[in-house]
Amino acid sequence: MKIAIAQINCTLGDLAGNAARIAQAAQEARARGAQVMVTPELSICGYPPEDLLLRPDFVAACEAAVTDLAGRVPGITVIVGHPQRSRGHLYNAASVLSGGKVIATYFKRDLPNYTVFDEERYFEPGSEPCVVPIEGVKVGVAICEDVWGHSGEHTARATQAPGAAVELWDAEAPRAARAAGAEMLLVLNASPYHVNKLATRYDVVRARAKQVGLPIVFCNLVGGQDELVFDGASFVVDAKGNVTTQMPSFEEGVGIVEFASGTPVPETIAPERPVEALVYDALCLGVRDYIRKNGFPGVLLGLSGGIDSAIVACVAADALGADKVHAVMMPSQYTASMSLEDAQALATNLGIRYSVLAIRPAFDAYQAMLAETFAGRAADTTEENLQSRIRGTLLMAMSNKFGSIVLTTGNKSEMATGYATLYGDMAGGFAVLKDISKTLVYRLSRYRNTLSDVIPDRIITRPPSAELKPDQVDQDSLPPYEVLDAIMEMYVERDMAPEAILRAGFARADVERVVKLLTISEYKRRQAPVGVRITPRGFGKDWRYPITNRYRDKF
């Protein structure tokens, strides 16, 4: 028997478009000899639908789309994911379509409710296995967390030390499928990407296959949905836990897996790629899908001559095409000549549109307007932030006029410490580097230059500076980025207490400063635009700290 893995990019809410994509994949799979095709979790509507699931009309439309799709996939059995209402409850379902109708439906048993998942808000858990005979083989169906075991990623995420073994929790669904006679397990997934996620999936799925003695086909969603990026990277393991097929990451495609005597025949294994390459692809996919799925004609960004805006410009050009990117240099009297030169060189190398709008006239006008109000007070960060807000106003004015969305260029290190200006460099519609630490920005920049040498070397090697006052560099007011980022990772992504961070060898002054800045900057982060999540915990869906909060960590 040949099984097709439809690693497809679904658009949330585009029921007709998603159904057409599934039908097209089924046609390709059938032409390549497949008897059955599995699609990702909630493939008919996209993942995660969030509070759309509270709308009865949305759920009814999804159910109707499944019924209609059943008549459009002749000659092949298709397993499709969708929400389903039954006996007064809503379920995360997978239906088996064959012969023009729905022949079986499975309800997800284990509902994740951690990090970016909140399925218990919407769904009731199922209780029965689903095993369907196809071409003489008893095929079991499961959905994502059913294999992880209702704990899954929570125990495997980066709250553990890097490289720590994943604890395998009990999972009823695979055991129930095996008890019902399943000879293999087809699993629909919407497993979002973060760094080292594929290794974690391997740990869990390989161990689960060996535990229940069944080969597992892991079909994963690909594409961007707001801050989440799904990497695909679908794979197959045999009953001994050996990976026999590995599809590429961040690419749509239909993979064909042949089973002989109940065992998957080894197929193509996509090569491993460095972390920087995967993260860069995640950023490109996240930007591409956010812009295109929301119908924006292009993007705008402020190009400063610094490294953050440089890598954002590269991602935008690679994701959308140079013709969709407009970079604007907005120099002040504090902008170094090298910044102007390097920004121009980068824009030329990328082939993107480039404009220069000097902010000195607006800055002088604002200072004149405020002179009487500020009389007797020395210049401080107020004047620095004013420059940033002028730039934000100019970019948003251009966005209004031309319809392009503004990409912000701040990174995770800056968002963690509040080293960003509300209504200034935070003004925009999508934050490309929201979950990218400053040290990772440097790694990504060097990686991008291995593809083609577009970022001038001086942008990478010069000390970073906001250039809002004379001779300013970031390290005047922040710890070295390698120290800041390490503390941030332990505190934010691994929930380590400050005392534990101190025991890891960091200076008390640095830990106290970073933790304090993190704590007092929450009100800024809450107002930041959505951005791509690439770590186990970004400042978005899975960071829910109160703004009004007097708790302070003890040292």
Kindly state whether residue 549 falls inside one of the protein's structural domains: no
Cα–Cα distance measured from residue 17 to residue 45, given in angstroms and rounded to the nearest whole number: 9
Is the separation of the CB atoms in 199 and 178 below 8 Å?
A: no
Kindly state whether residue 554 falls inside one of the protein's structural domains: no
The verdict on 289 and 419 lying in the same domain is yes
pLDDT of residue 169: 74
Q: Is the pLDDT of residue 347 over 80?
A: yes
Q: Which residues of 372-410 are buried (b: 16+ CB within 10 A; e: fewer)?
A: eeeeeeeeeeebbbbbbbbbbebbbebbeeeebbbbbbb
Q: How confident is the model at residue 554 (pLDDT cuts 50, 70, 90)?
A: confident
The verdict on 74 and 133 lying in the same domain is yes
Is the separation of the CB atoms in 289 and 315 below 8 Å?
A: no
The verdict on 176 and 195 lying in the same domain is yes
DSSP reduced 3-state for 385: helix
Amino acid type, 238: D
Distance of CA 480 to the CA centre of its chain: 27
Range with lowest mean pLDDT among 194-198, 437-441, 476-480, 517-521: 476-480
The verdict on 228 and 348 lying in the same domain is no
For residues 128-133, give the mean pLDDT.
96
pLDDT of residue 161: 53
CATH of the domain at 386: 3.40.50.620
Give the model confidence (pLDDT) of 468-483 as tens digits: 777 666 666 789 999 9
Give the model confidence (pLDDT) of 18-41 as tens digits: 999 999 999 999 999 999 999 999
CB atoms within 10 A of CB 200: 20
pLDDT of residue 407: 98
Distance of CA 84 to the CA centre of its chain: 26
Amino acid type, 254: V
Task: Give me the residue label for tokens 């002749």.
Answer: 74
The verdict on 203 and 345 lying in the same domain is no
Q: How confident is the model at residue 465 (pLDDT cuts 50, 70, 90)?
A: confident
Is the separation of the CB atoms in 55 and 23 below 8 Å?
A: no
The verdict on 258 and 288 lying in the same domain is no
CATH of the domain at 256: 3.60.110.10
Kindly state whether residue 488 falls inside one of the protein's structural domains: no
pLDDT of residue 484: 96
Cα–Cα distance measured from residue 281 to residue 279, given in angstroms and rounded to the nearest whole number: 5
120 annotated active-site: no
Dihedral-angle region of residue 528 (phi above 0 means left; psi in -120 to 50 means alpha; beta otherwise): beta
Is the separation of the CB atoms in 8 and 39 below 8 Å?
A: yes
Kindly state whether residue 255 falls inside one of the protein's structural domains: yes
**CA nearest neighbour of 257 among 26, 22, 33, 9:** 33
Cα–Cα distance measured from residue 459 to residue 409, given in angstroms and rounded to the nearest whole number: 15
The verdict on 340 and 465 lying in the same domain is yes
| Annotated catalytic residue, options 130, 144, 219, 284 | 144
- State the alpha helices, DSSP H only, in 74-212: 145-148, 152-156, 172-179, 197-212
pLDDT of residue 265: 92
pLDDT of residue 157: 46
Range with lowest mean pLDDT among 84-98, 279-293, 469-483: 469-483
| Residues 6+ away with beta carbon under 8 Å from 448 | 280, 311, 314, 454, 455
First to last CA, the chain: 61
For residues 323-333, give the mean pLDDT.
96
Q: Is the pLDDT of residue 150 over 90?
A: no
Domain count, the chain: 2
In this structure, what is the dihedral angle of CA atoms 22, 115, 539, 309, given to the nearest 10 degrees? -40
Cα–Cα distance measured from residue 346 to residue 329, given in angstroms and rounded to the nearest whole number: 11
| Residues 6+ away with beta carbon under 8 Å from 530 | 226, 227, 290, 430, 431, 434, 540
| Annotated catalytic residue, options 62, 63, 108, 489 | 108
**Please, what is the average pLDDT of the chain?**
93
Q: Is the pLDDT of residue 96 over 90?
A: yes
Kindly state whether residue 14 falls inside one of the protein's structural domains: yes
Kindly state whether residue 490 falls inside one of the protein's structural domains: no
Which residues are paired to 212 by β-bridges? none
Dihedral-angle region of residue 452 (phi above 0 means left; psi in -120 to 50 means alpha; beta otherwise): beta
For residues 309-315, give the mean pLDDT.
98
Q: How confident is the model at residue 555 (pLDDT cuts 50, 70, 90)?
A: confident
More confident residue, 466 or 49: 49
- State the alpha helices, DSSP H only, in 130-196: 145-148, 152-156, 172-179
Q: Is the dihedral of CA 262, 263, 269, 273 positive or negative?
A: positive
The DSSP output letter for 54 is G
Is the separation of the CB atoms in 246 and 217 below 8 Å?
A: no
41 annotated active-site: yes
Cα–Cα distance measured from residue 126 to residue 139, given in angstroms and rounded to the nearest whole number: 18
The answer, as to whether pTM is greater than 0.75, is: yes
The verdict on 261 and 332 lying in the same domain is no
The verdict on 101 and 212 lying in the same domain is yes
User: Which one of 217, 249, 270 terminates a domain?
Assistant: 270
| Annotated catalytic residue, options 41, 384, 467, 489 | 41
pLDDT of residue 449: 98
The verdict on 194 and 315 lying in the same domain is no
Edge-to-edge strand list for the sheet holding 243-246: 131-134, 137-143, 184-189, 216-220, 235-237, 243-246
The verdict on 40 and 173 lying in the same domain is yes
Q: Is the pLDDT of residue 162 over 80?
A: no
Q: What are phi and psi of 103, to 5 degrees?
A: -100, -15
Q: What are phi and psi of 5, to 5 degrees?
A: -105, 110
Give the model confidence (pLDDT) of 5-21 as tens digits: 999 999 999 999 999 99
Q: Is the pLDDT of residue 158 over 50?
A: no
Cα–Cα distance measured from residue 437 to residue 433, given in angstroms and rounded to the nearest whole number: 8
The verdict on 40 and 170 lying in the same domain is yes
Q: How confident is the model at residue 171 (pLDDT cuts 50, 70, 90)?
A: confident
412 annotated active-site: no
Highest mean predicted confidence (pLDDT) among 166-170, 172-176, 220-224, 462-466: 220-224
Q: How confident is the model at residue 127 (pLDDT cuts 50, 70, 90)?
A: very high
Is the separation of the CB atoms in 62 and 16 below 8 Å?
A: no
Containing structural domain, residue 98: 2-270
User: Which one of 237, 270, 303 terminates a domain?
Assistant: 270
Q: Is the pLDDT of residue 115 over 50?
A: yes
Cα–Cα distance measured from residue 225 to residue 241, given in angstroms and rounded to the nearest whole number: 31
CB atoms within 10 A of CB 553: 15
Give the model confidence (pLDDT) of 404-457 as tens digits: 999 999 999 999 999 999 999 999 999 999 999 999 999 999 999 999 999 999
Kindly state whether residue 492 falls inside one of the protein's structural domains: no
User: Which one of 243, 270, 297 terminates a domain?
Assistant: 270
Q: Is the dihedral of CA 302, 303, 305, 307 positive or negative?
A: positive
Q: Is the pLDDT of residue 44 over 60?
A: yes
Give the model confidence (pLDDT) of 230-244 as tens digits: 999 999 999 999 999
Which residues are paired to 302 by β-bridges? 328
For residues 525-532, give the mean pLDDT.
96
